[in-house]
Structure 1
Amino acid sequence: MGKISDFFNLHLGEDKKEKVLENVISNISFRGANLWILACAIVVASVGLNVNSTAVIIGAMLISPLMGPIVGAGFALGTYDFGLLKKSLKNLLIATMVSLLVSFIYFSLSPFKEAQSELLARTAPNIYDVLIAFFGGLVGVIAITRVEKGNPIPGVAIATALMPPLCTAGYGLAIGNISYFGGAMYLYTINCFFICISTFLIVKFLKYPSVEFLDEGKRKRITRTITLMILIMIVPSFYLAYVLLQQKKYTQQVNAFIQTELVEKGYTLIYENTQFNRRPKKIELAFLDKKFTAGEIAGLKERMAYYGIRQTELLIHQDSTDIKKDILAEITKYSENVSEKDITIQNLRNELSKYRFDNPELIQEITLLFPTLTPFSIGKQVAVSGVDSTKLETVLYYHESAKIDAKELLKLKGWLTMKLGGAEVRVLKGD
């Protein structure tokens, strides 16, 4: 029976280091087929984001070759290979620019410009994105270094989610929304950094050999340069992770405060805006019918400390004019997001309503006044009398077995015309 440590030994099942490096280097370049695959994957991901289809987005991530240069950069940092690092960063820049260009062109041409939930999810990074990128990157690199690559590779492509942020950034450029572009590029940068860091850590842990230099002076310069780059990348990344963690924690504290101290006491919240990056932080609230006294507001501010909310300004809007203004702004924002397809559907409904005969009372009256007419059918149809001459008329068809004479039919037609407000009416015998 093996040692317990063998269960956690990453050297078991490890592929030859030379073979792994060769495989990594071959996946860095974005020329020919790789570039075409990337462009097609970007279009697929953009369509998925546009129509809010998670399945399509996942498919695009599976075929994307974007992780190649990021993993290559991690290997370069771990082995002090400055040439490989330059090549990886150059190809990552090419891939990023091509992705932004393709997604920008797609969303510029797409008739549907509304921001769907899948798009909006890529505009505001949080601590979970850091964790997913880091641990997803670890899984990916461990899988790459195995003799049997196994199933993790497709899962890593989905988990690290490099494609959707780039497409969202292209969408932000296409509609001129710098906030969407900045948020999406921020998320993309986080993913790249933490995948690269996790790769670097595994390369060091598995003790991949450093590049050998004939010139000792050159070796020292390159070693110092790469060490500095590692520090520049790792220190801000962990600070970023800390800031995102603090933001998540703060949001949870604010939600707990609002829920316990206000909502659960029966106050109807109609507006909430939390500004974490402001100094001091700020919470803006408005309620439907509750008017707070100065003493109540002071009490709420004191209670905020109990929830760990400090250095935060609490502003409760009580002026009805301000509240109405905020509500109208939200309504206007919502109205602007009404999609073209919703308008098309409404137009089709309006068009169909012209041909629908929805008058059960009239049908009941016909049955009572002309009992021998049944069975019959009644509806609206377009009558064409010429190339440019059409009209809408009401037509009643009765079965040939109906026992009704010409006098009764004439009476029926006149009565229907009167009941339908003088509309064009025809009474015809069916088969």
Structure 2
Amino acid sequence: MAKSKFLRFFNLHSGEDKKENVLENVVNNISFRGANLWILACAIVIASVGLNVNSTAVIIGAMLISPLMSPIVGAGFALGVYDFPLLKKSLKNLLIATFVSLLVSFLYFTLSPFKDAQSELLARTSPNIYDVLIAFFGGLVGVIAITRVEKGNPIPGVAIATALMPPLCTAGYGLAIGNFSYFAGALYLYTINCFFICLSTFIIVKYLNYPKVNFVDSNREKKITRVITLIILVLIVPSVYFAYTLLQQKQFAQKVSNFIQNSFTDKGYTVVFERTNYNTNPKKLELAFLIKKFSKEEVEGLKEQLKDYGITNTELIIRQDNNDLKADILNEINKKEQNLSDKDLRIKQLNAELNKYQINTPNLQQNIQVLFPQITSYSIGIQNKIISQDSVNNTISLIYQTDKKLSPEESLKLENWMKIQFPEREVTIIENN
């Protein structure tokens, strides 16, 4: 008795809509004609804009509008009830929707002046096992909601979670810029989502005992089951590989972070530039420091330390500017072999020299953060530009990094603003992304 009550908590037949009503709704929403096609095209444009400007909110809005799930669910229902005319119709409309989506997104990104790969775009180019799980369980939720009398509010959440629109738009972006690795990765993610939503629909339809439309002998039913199993394996194996690669990359990033923290940050060395490249052979770790200079012996010692942190097959590159006058002066100040009187005299001379190269602009950091919030880090200094044997020009150099590339208008605004800050000197702006 207690077991019976417990099982009722998981009974999907409770609150189930009439099967004929569910099937009728599924069939009616499959076709991409008229309004559905216009809605799809508009949703693709919205999603493409969102990916182009890196706006998550806009992308979510496009996913809520999109009617792409209908033919996928229709294919799952068709397989579950062995309605092959319905399966053919569903796949035909899914192909139409896919082609229209690729065409619209391709045209948008071809015409768009901004073609930089934003993080939202890059996130759709390397699918992994987690995308399989999201598509499968998202599809389960969606189909369960479709078969209820009270549909409730899971459908919008399913549209957002399974994310059919962004991969298609990313595939169109890959075509527009001629990057076929982006195109292939995004199309693979889209295929994963489509198939596993279809598979979850098939499972729920079988579980709820929807009646078979056509008589199917046991041999044909087994054949269909084997084909579905084969497709599952074909799609899952590459996604598992991608998930493993992602895990290895995250572990590498964590090891690098520990190495930098223990070897440099904890010792008071300010890291002003850090770049890792996981996809080269060997992998690369590039670092630059504010004032610290490393000898060849120290650099070799640091390379040996990489092994202690489990960082293998990695080339350590430490960028050092030998013309960095400020660092040279500070090193000279710290020389211990000089006697005290010589030191005092030399320090005064060096401090006087150093003052020539100091930049005294009040609230410069706060102003940059307010006016240019995209800039995540920057360094500013003075370089000696030799014009002739007797003429040296002191140039102000600003080197910056951003989480979102500055537009041409913003870059010009930054240059003009720097010229206002230093009206009597030449200004050089360098983006270091």
129 and 337 in structure 1: CA distance in 2 versus 1, 3 angstrom threshold: same
Q: Is the 8 A contact 1:80 1:226 kept in 2?
A: no
Deviation at 1:163, TM superposition (A): 0.8
Matched AA of 2:313: E
Deviation at 1:35, TM superposition (A): 1.1
- The corresponding residue for 2:410 is 342
Please tell me whether residue 314 in structure 1 is matched to residue 382 in structure 2. Answer: no
Matched AA of 1:194: F
- The corresponding residue for 2:94 is 92
Q: Is the 8 A contact 2:128 2:241 kept in 1?
A: no
Alignment partner for residue 198 of structure 2, among 192, 196, 199?
Answer: 196
- The corresponding residue for 2:429 is none
Distance 2:125 2:15 in 1: 40
Distance 2:107 2:165 in 1: 16
Distance 2:277 2:415 in 1: 36
Measured against aligned partners, the alpha-carbon deviations of 1:390-422 in whole angstroms (never above 9, x if no partner) come to xxxxxxxxxxxxxxxxxxxxxxxxxxxxxxxxx
Structure 2: unaligned runs, 5 residues or longer: 266-270, 322-398, 424-433
302 and 340 in structure 1: CA distance in 2 versus 1, 3 angstrom threshold: closer
Deviation at 1:248, TM superposition (A): 3.3
Deviation at 1:224, TM superposition (A): 4.7
Distance 1:95 1:63 in 2: 14
Deviation at 1:142, TM superposition (A): 0.8
191 and 12 in structure 1: CA distance in 2 versus 1, 3 angstrom threshold: same
Q: Is the 8 A contact 1:301 1:314 kept in 2?
A: no
Q: Secondary structure at the match of 2:276?
A: strand
Structure 1 residues 163-172 or 234-243, which shifts more?
234-243
Deviation at 1:349, TM superposition (A): 7.0
Distance 1:243 1:120 in 2: 18
Deviation at 1:95, TM superposition (A): 0.7
Distance 1:86 1:344 in 2: 55
Q: Is the 8 A contact 1:46 1:164 kept in 2?
A: yes
Distance 2:9 2:159 in 1: 26
- The corresponding residue for 1:271 is 275
Distance 1:243 1:136 in 2: 22
Alignment partner for residue 21 of structure 2, among 19, 22, 25?
Answer: 19
238 and 186 in structure 1: CA distance in 2 versus 1, 3 angstrom threshold: closer
Q: Secondary structure at the match of 2:9?
A: helix
Measured against aligned partners, the alpha-carbon deviations of 1:141-197 in whole angstroms (never above 9, x if no partner) come to 110111111111111111111111111221222222223322322222222222222
For the aligned residue pairs, the C-alpha RMSD in angstroms reads 3.6
- The corresponding residue for 2:109 is 107
Q: Is the 8 A contact 1:78 1:204 kept in 2?
A: yes
Distance 1:210 1:130 in 2: 28
Distance 1:195 1:271 in 2: 38
Q: Is the 8 A contact 1:114 1:338 kept in 2?
A: no
Matched AA of 1:10: L
Please tell me whether residue 79 in structure 1 is matched to residue 81 in structure 2. Answer: yes
Distance 1:344 1:299 in 2: 43
- The corresponding residue for 2:208 is 206
Correspondences of 1:385-424 after superposition (within 5 Å):
none
297 and 112 in structure 1: CA distance in 2 versus 1, 3 angstrom threshold: closer
Deviation at 1:125, TM superposition (A): 2.6
Structure 1 residues 15-24 or 139-148, which shifts more?
15-24
Matched AA of 2:276: E
Alignment length, in residue pairs? 330
Distance 1:252 1:54 in 2: 23
Please tell me whether residue 57 in structure 1 is matched to residue 59 in structure 2. Answer: yes
- Could you say which structure has the larger radius of gyration? 1
Correspondences of 1:42-191 after superposition (within 5 Å):
42-191=44-193
- The corresponding residue for 1:419 is none
127 and 90 in structure 1: CA distance in 2 versus 1, 3 angstrom threshold: same
- The corresponding residue for 1:285 is 285
Deviation at 1:231, TM superposition (A): 1.4
Measured against aligned partners, the alpha-carbon deviations of 1:63-97 in whole angstroms (never above 9, x if no partner) come to 11000111122222333333322222221111111
Matched AA of 2:258: T
Distance 1:320 1:274 in 2: 22
333 and 210 in structure 1: CA distance in 2 versus 1, 3 angstrom threshold: farther
117 and 80 in structure 1: CA distance in 2 versus 1, 3 angstrom threshold: same
Distance 1:139 1:238 in 2: 20
15 and 240 in structure 1: CA distance in 2 versus 1, 3 angstrom threshold: farther
Measured against aligned partners, the alpha-carbon deviations of 1:83-131 in whole angstroms (never above 9, x if no partner) come to 3222222211111110010111122222333333332332333443333
- The corresponding residue for 1:301 is 307
Deviation at 1:336, TM superposition (A): 12
Please tell me whether residue 239 in structure 1 is matched to residue 237 in structure 2. Answer: yes
Deviation at 1:303, TM superposition (A): 5.0
TM-score by length of 1: 0.66
Matched AA of 1:99: S
Q: Is the 8 A contact 1:133 1:195 kept in 2?
A: yes
Structure 1 residues 40-49 or 140-149, which shifts more?
40-49
Distance 1:320 1:346 in 2: 27
33 and 103 in structure 1: CA distance in 2 versus 1, 3 angstrom threshold: same
Matched AA of 2:307: K
Q: Secondary structure at the match of 1:92?
A: helix
293 and 171 in structure 1: CA distance in 2 versus 1, 3 angstrom threshold: closer
112 and 318 in structure 1: CA distance in 2 versus 1, 3 angstrom threshold: closer
Q: Secondary structure at the match of 2:250?
A: helix
Matched AA of 1:342: E
Q: Secondary structure at the match of 2:54?
A: coil
Q: Secondary structure at the match of 1:3?
A: helix
Q: Secondary structure at the match of 1:10?
A: coil
- The corresponding residue for 2:331 is none
Q: Secondary structure at the match of 1:284?
A: strand
65 and 151 in structure 1: CA distance in 2 versus 1, 3 angstrom threshold: same
Distance 1:3 1:282 in 2: 60
Q: Is the 8 A contact 2:145 2:151 kept in 1?
A: yes
